[in-house]
Amino acid sequence: MSDKIIRATSISETSTEQAGSITLVYSDRFRRRVAMISDNGIEFVLDLAEATEMKDGFFLMLEDGRSIQIVGAKEKLMRIWGKDLQHLTRAAWHVGNRHLACEIHPDYIVLAHDRIIKKMLLGLGCKVEEFEGPFSPEGGAYGQGRVLGHSH
């Protein structure tokens, strides 16, 4: 067994030699440097130039030519519908006003489960459905991926 540390130094949308997968919740899919273990036991160090969004379905490229597919773990989520598009837009404004990450779909939005936010949305007259699935919210308005902070 080799003592050489395997590093993942880039992320790609495609791969030819997939060696395994790594299942991560949304909050763990934004990293720069951290020790990781794939779902099938491959130990490696994520070593990127900067903190980067690791999107569900993309690949971490290992220095030895292999890749590890990124899998979004199932998380407790909420799907929200409005009575119509204007009502949903109003609900989305309230979500955005609280700086909550969300997925935007044509006729609903998805949020991480939060009982207080659920109560607020029900109070606004929205339909809320709890479910489990991978969470892949919108990126920041001022660049690709996540935005860690901004000024008003």
pLDDT digits 0-9 by tens, 53-92: 899 999 999 999 999 999 999 999 999 999 999 999 999 9
Q: 75-133 falls under which CATH superfamily?
A: UreE, C-terminal domain (3.30.70.790)
**pLDDT (tens digit, 9 = 90+) per residue, 27-55?**
999 999 999 999 999 999 999 999 988 99
Over residues 110-134, the pLDDT tens digits come to: 999 999 999 999 999 999 999 999 9
Q: Residue 150 corresponds to which tokens in the numbers above?
A: 């901004």
Q: Could you tell me the pLDDT band of residue 141, with boundaries at 50, 70 and 90?
A: low
pLDDT at site 34 = 96
Query: Could you tell me which CATH number the domain at 7-72 has?
Result: 2.60.260.20
Give start-end residues of each CATH 3.30.70.790 domain in the chain. 75-133
pTM of the entire structure? 0.79
Strand ranges in the chain using DSSP code E only, listed in sequence order: 7-12, 18-24, 30-37, 43-53, 59-62, 67-72, 75-81, 102-104, 109-112, 127-133
